Chains A and B, each alone.
Chain A
Amino acid sequence: MTAKTIAIARREFRALFDSPVAYIVIVAFLLVTGWMFFSTLFLRERADLRVLFTPSLFSPAMLLLIFAPAISMRAVAEERKSGTIELLTSMPVRDWEVVLGKFLADFALTAAAVLSTLVYAITVACIGDLDWGPVISGYLGMLLFAASLLAIGLMCSSWTDNQIVAFIVALLIGACLYVISWLQFFVPDFIAPLVDYVSLSSHLSNMARGVLDTRDLLYYFTLIGGALFIAERSMAHQHA
């Protein structure tokens, strides 16, 4: 990581806060997770943090599925639209520094939203005792899950100068990877593990249970690395 990557990330981060997206994401995330947390607390009369991490149809992970493309859609697409990409590429920066810088900014915002829910964990820890193990692995899973979606979003953003297109394509890819695990009951047995492996959500479920497996980590890191690599390639391709 270079000073220039950090400079790009810093600018990008501030730009995110110049639009309402950043505030909407943080507030919505806190509200939804808060509602889920307290409803289980009062309905079931027990504080369970696992609901926060377990992917389902209505879960914080589902929110990220929508928010991550909304955060990352502007990354490259907006620079293409406004022409500032020409300015940026006339500076002595490498394409990967640009991609990485933008990714870091998007990740910082998303991580802030995700980690803001730590207030609930701390609440639980104050009320009774909290088994921090699954909480930590749950948060780690959530951050990796979010990072993967952001990387996919950034990749889509690098393909177009239209933010809406970037958003929709990223949402589609993310949604497919999210729901594909549900298919494992309908496909032949020998494909089922494969379907399970490519699914974004099944790895998150593992980590929400407190299981830290290198296979899950490897999955997320491959996805992030792969998407960012493609983004870098398509940045380079614009010179053609």
Chain B
Amino acid sequence: MTEKDGLMIDARSLTKDFGPTRALADLSFRVKRGEILGFLGPNGAGKTTAMRILTGYLRPTRGSVHVCGIPVAERPVEARRRIGYLPENAPLYDEMMVIDFLRYTAELREVPPAERDRRLATIGKRCGLAEVLGKDIGQLSKGYRQRVGLAQAMIHDPDLLILDEPTSGLDPNQIVEIRELVKELGKDKTVILSTHILPEVQATCNRILIVNEGRLVADDRPEALSGRASGASIRLVLKAREGELDAAEVGEALGGIEGIREVQKAEGEGAGTLGFVLRDSAGADSREAVFGAAVDHSWIVLDLHREQVSLEDTFRRLTLGEQEGGEG
């Protein structure tokens, strides 16, 4: 409940209705200090809504949020001191110069006057803003706007950073830089970021939440979601000279191997080959057993390798599954 436990966010059964639209339905999660949390979900899943509730911009229809032990609804100003927020699409004052804007946010975000210049210099360097400090924000390219947005979110060195699609509009180099930045921040801060780029969460986050239609459908480590726990698949291709190998027989033999959950016939590699996809049970690696079986039956193995279920697969399964279920 309190900051001492390292609990940075405690969101309890958040529900948000916009008229008849339910944007969030009973969403609960906790985030500890040092976690880098990736917020995933298809368009309209409720990511932005959830972040807006965390920052106190929106009030939940039901449920509550504590940030660093501070109830956001009751003590919003106190909570906001601890948060750095980059809203979706980085809304900024277009007519302001970058440097003036950052000074202004430093002032509103209560950076002590004596430290302001130093903070500005550090942040400017970190976000790669040196060349554009004297430009009007309205003239910046999308990527630079995004960087200015990031800079204002970090200017007061907050404990908790909430970034809504921080890398949208950035070039690949910059994406890598932001990724490194977020990782570094995550060492002693807490970061929540939403994104549609799945490899990005895999590279940066140590925890992933997947939301779909306002509900939490997954909350786990990236490795777990990308297959290890749910079992990987093994791809096997055998050489089959005419009439010598019967797919059904081989399938049966493979199914008998301990640790194999499921055998599927798959594309081979052209004529004279047989392809299979085998599903491991959770945590197992049955390649050795499969190889053993091949030796026993004198099968000629052309290919035997393990394929991780990608985060993308998991994402699609979790977020499309319900729709398919609804139709069926």
Chain B CB count within 10 A is highest, among A7, A11, A15, A82, for A11
A contact residues around B129 at 8 Å (CB): none
**Is B1 an interface residue, CB under 8 A from the partner?**
no
**Is A93's CB under 8 angstroms from B77's CB?**
yes
**Is A239 an interface residue, CB under 8 A from the partner?**
yes
* Number of residues of chain A lying within 8 A (CB) of chain B: 22
B contact residues around A4 at 8 Å (CB): 107-108
Cross-chain contact of A7 among B78, B81, B94, B108 (Cβ < 8 A): B108
**Is A239's CB under 8 angstroms from B77's CB?**
no
* Number of residues of chain B lying within 8 A (CB) of chain A: 27
Main secondary structure of the interface of B (DSSP, over half): loop
A contact residues around B57 at 8 Å (CB): 86, 89-90, 239
Write the chain B residue with the least CB distance to A82: B91
**Is B59 an interface residue, CB under 8 A from the partner?**
yes
**Is B52's CB under 8 angstroms from A93's CB?**
no
B contact residues around A93 at 8 Å (CB): 77, 108
User: A65-110: which residues lie under 8 A (CB-CB) from chain B?
Assistant: 82-84, 86-94
Task: Say yes or no: A87-B56 contact (C-beta < 8 A), given A92-B80, A92-B109, A93-B108.
Answer: no
B contact residues around A94 at 8 Å (CB): 77
**Is B105's CB under 8 angstroms from A91's CB?**
yes
Cross-chain contact of B94 among A82, A89, A239 (Cβ < 8 A): A82
B contact residues around A7 at 8 Å (CB): 104, 107-108
Task: Say yes or no: A92-B81 contact (C-beta < 8 A), given A7-B107, A8-B108, A83-B87.
Answer: yes
B contact residues around A11 at 8 Å (CB): 93, 96, 104
Cross-chain contact of B83 among A3, A82, A90 (Cβ < 8 A): A90
User: B39-90: which residues lie under 8 A (CB-CB) from chain A?
Assistant: 52, 55-59, 77-78, 80-81, 83, 85, 87, 89
Q: B84 to chain A: closest CB distance in Å?
A: 8
**Is A240 an interface residue, CB under 8 A from the partner?**
yes
Q: B5 to chain A: closest CB distance in Å?
A: 24
What separation, in Å, do the CA atoms of A3 and B55 have in the docked complex?
23
Write the chain A residue with the least CB distance to B152: A87
**Is B218 an interface residue, CB under 8 A from the partner?**
no
Cross-chain contact of A84 among B59, B92, B110 (Cβ < 8 A): B92
Main secondary structure of the interface of A (DSSP, over half): helix
**Is A18 an interface residue, CB under 8 A from the partner?**
yes
Write the chain A residue with the least CB distance to B106: A7
**Is B110's CB under 8 angstroms from A18's CB?**
no
**Is B180 an interface residue, CB under 8 A from the partner?**
no
Write the chain A residue with the least CB distance to B97: A14
How would residues 204 to 240 of chain A score, 1 for a CB under 8 Å from any chain B CB and 0 otherwise? Answer: 0000000000000000000000000000000000011
**Is A15's CB under 8 angstroms from B108's CB?**
no
What separation, in Å, do the CA atoms of A79 and B80 have in the docked complex?
19
A contact residues around B55 at 8 Å (CB): 89-90
**Is B95 an interface residue, CB under 8 A from the partner?**
yes
User: A119-177: which residues lie under 8 A (CB-CB) from chain B?
Assistant: none
Q: B165 to chain A: closest CB distance in Å?
A: 14
What separation, in Å, do the CA atoms of A90 and B154 have in the docked complex?
13
A contact residues around B105 at 8 Å (CB): 91
Given A83-B91, A87-B91, 20 extra CB contacts under 8 A? A3-B107, A8-B108, A14-B96, A15-B93, A15-B95, A82-B91, A83-B87, A83-B89, A86-B57, A87-B152, A88-B108, A89-B55, A89-B56, A89-B57, A90-B55, A90-B56, A91-B80, A92-B81, A94-B77, A239-B58
Interface residues of A (CB under 8 A from B): 3-4, 7-8, 11, 14-15, 18, 82-84, 86-94, 239-240
The 7 closest A-B pairs by CB, nearest first: A83-B91, A90-B85, A91-B108, A18-B95, A7-B107, A92-B80, A86-B87
